[in-house]
Amino acid sequence: MDYKVLYRKYRPQDFSTVVDQKEIIEILKNSVKNQKISHAYIFSGPRGTGKTTTARIFAKYINCLNPTDSGPCNECDICNLNQDNVDIIEIDAASNTSVDDVREIINNVKIAPAYSKYKVYIIDEVHMLSPSAFNALLLTLEEPPSNIVFIFATTNIENVPITILSRCQRFDFKKITDSSMFEHLKNIAKKEKIKIDEDAIKEIVYLSDGALRDALSILDQLAFDNKKITYDTVANHLGIISNKKIASLLDNIFNNKINDVLTILDEFKNINIDYRYLLKKLLDNLEIFAIKIKNNELNYDYSKVVNLSMDIANLINQININLNPYSLITIILLNYCDNEQPLENTNDKKKIEQNTQTDDSIEEKSTFDENIKNIRTNNCLVNVQKKYLTLIQNFWSKFIGSISENKKIMMLLIDSDVVAASDNYLIITNELESTVNLINLNLETIENLFYKEYNKEYKMISLTKNEWLKVKEEYIKNIKNKKKYQMIEEKKVLKKENNIEQIATSIFDESKIVIEGE
Ligand SMILES: [Zn+2]
């Protein structure tokens, strides 16, 4: 398959093409000029901000035979080794967390570099290492051989032990600014001959919230059929919230229409609108409301706008993703509705539902049942085995190659990973919540396509990487405690609609897990 996703195709090869992060790059360049290279660096910051890319370029740079002002020359014998340079070792701590993995590194640390001046270890998502792995690593960091450089990258600096941090030179990567991201996307679209409106680019910038990789994945997904990408394309494809819908949510709040507020929030929840995105949109629209009120174009209480904005800003800062963010959002929003609304009769309610459904972009999306997600994840874990995973993983790129005619599905899967498999279930992860949702809405198609190629029926489910990490953690804990997962029938649960929430929350509950030997 020769298709290369955009973020890989446009991954910077030297410092000059890294988007933003100028100060960090200046310091890194100077450290090489002044020959003051540290033994350990830690790059922290949100995902998609260039940490791993910068680490790779820096690793090449310190070994390059003819370093230039913009980074490695990419021409000398060492640079030309590229992926084959055995002295640059990349480890993804998200999948290699055990002390054995680290021990292997440490044993090899003592072996001198094969070709280069420095042996560089790039450890991605270093916060995922286990405590014992950290301890093992610490021993090396305390007395590192002179020609070893560690570059750690992490999205969760808080979870890196202070003992490690204190031995590293730290760089905090910032979110890519909207204007840089806009220019970057515009350039790539031009180079790729992707026809796209500026409004559409702006919405992608907005959606990806400072993560370049996300922005390029979205662009990839939208560019599959060579049609011009407009704001509506972005809205329809990603199930994003239109400003019209947000404005109507706020109107309902200011008019104390509690049921309408709840109906719209339910819709957002059902199509998995990311709560951070929702909050951001609400704030933006409140700004518009504020201006309109001051211009006498709207007749709402200004202090209500101020207070609601402050509450939303606080929510953005404080919301704990382990809680149910939508509950909190609902509670805060309802706080701004006075409870004066007379009881509605069912006809009215129906009318409202019809209205909201014919409103705009959103009705094109069907909803994906969260419970199926939980059930299938559970069912996959019942008989999850490395051997099944290896088989599927080995087959996966062939499978994706085989569906190149169904480009829409291909674009959803090309950047996704299979992370767990049993004999008839598998779990697919993707960084983007919107992609995960689209995969889940297309499961049947994907399963059929897979069956055609693999000749074995598989039920699938997609999770975001973060969701998967949590499931995995829970799984490891349960296995250690010798608790066993049990199959849950999908149909049975689906029928008991009233009971669904209860069942969903009980999936990982003690009562559903049988202790071995009992
Ligand atoms: Zn070079």
First-last CA distance in the chain? 50
**82 alpha carbon to ligand 1 midpoint, in Å?**
10
Whether 313 and 380 share a structural domain = no
Domain containing residue 495: CATH number: 3.30.300.180
Cα 118 to averaged position of ligand 1 atoms, centre (Å): 13
377 with 499, same domain: the answer is yes
Domain contains 1: no
Same structural domain, 320 and 386: no
25 lies in the same domain as 153: yes
CB atoms within 10 A of CB 366: 10
Dist CA 217 CA 209 (whole Å): 13
Say whether both 63 and 115 belong to one domain. Answer: yes
Ligand 1 centre to CA of 80 (Å) is 7
Please check whether residues 339 and 374 belong to one and the same domain. no
In a domain, 46, yes or no: yes
Domain assignment present for residue 429? The answer is yes
Distance 30 CA to ligand 1 centre (A): 17
* pLDDT at residue 1 greater than cutoff 60: no
59 or 347, which is more confident: 59
147 found inside a domain: yes
One domain, residues 283 and 354: yes
**How far is it, in rounded angstroms, from Cα 439 to Cα 442?**
5
Per-residue pLDDT tens digits for 222-240? 887 778 999 888 877 666 6
Domain count, the chain: 4
Instruction: Return d(Cα 213, Cα 188) in angstroms, integer.
Output: 13
Strand, coil or helix: 150: strand
CA 324, 330, 331, 332 dihedral sign is positive
Does residue 269 sit in the same domain as residue 234?
Answer: no
* CA 480 – CA 470 distance, rounded (Å): 16
Strand, coil or helix: 339? coil
What is the per-residue pLDDT across 349-408, written as a single tens digit (0 to 9) for each?
444 344 444 333 333 345 577 788 999 999 999 999 988 998 998 888 889 888 877 877
Q: Is the pLDDT of residue 496 over 70?
A: no
> Which pair of tokens denotes residue 461?
């489910």
29 alpha carbon to ligand 1 midpoint, in Å?
A: 14
Interval between CA 238 and ligand 1 midpoint (Å): 42
Cα of 45 from ligand 1 centre, angstroms: 28
Statement to judge: residues 155 and 199 lie in one domain: no
How far is ligand 1, taken at its centre, from the CA of residue 47, in Å?
A: 28
272 and 194 in one domain?
A: no
Please say whether the beta carbons of 145 and 111 come within 8 A: no
User: Coil, strand or helix: which one is 66?
Assistant: coil
For residue 15, report the distance from its CA to the centre of ligand 1, in Å.
Answer: 13
pLDDT band at residue 508 using 50, 70 and 90 as cut-offs: very low
pLDDT at 240: 64
Q: How confident is the model at residue 210 (pLDDT cuts 50, 70, 90)?
A: confident
In a domain, 34, yes or no: yes
Q: Kindly state the percentage of the chain with pLDDT values over 90.
A: 36
For residue 67, report the distance from its CA to the centre of ligand 1, in Å.
Answer: 6
- Residues 473, 376: one domain? yes
Residue 144 parent element (H or E): none
Of 172, 191, 211, which one is at a domain's C-terminal end? 172
Using the mean position of ligand 1's atoms as its centre, give its distance from the Cα of residue 83 in Å.
14
User: What's the gap in Å between 71 CA and the centre of ligand 1?
Assistant: 9
How far is ligand 1, taken at its centre, from the CA of residue 12, in Å? 15
Q: Is 447 exposed, middle or buried (0-12, 13-18, 19+ CB in 10 A)?
A: middle
Q: Are strands 119-124 and 425-430 parallel, antiparallel or unpaired?
A: unpaired
**Span from the CA of 432 to the centroid of ligand 1 (angstroms):** 35
Tell me, in angstroms, the distance from the centre of ligand 1 to residue 33's CA: 15
Range of the domain at 267: 243-364
pTM value > 0.85: no
The rounded Å distance from CA 126 to ligand 1 centre is 28
In a shared domain, residues 35 and 165: yes
Q: How far is the CA of 351 from the centre of ligand 1 (A)?
A: 68
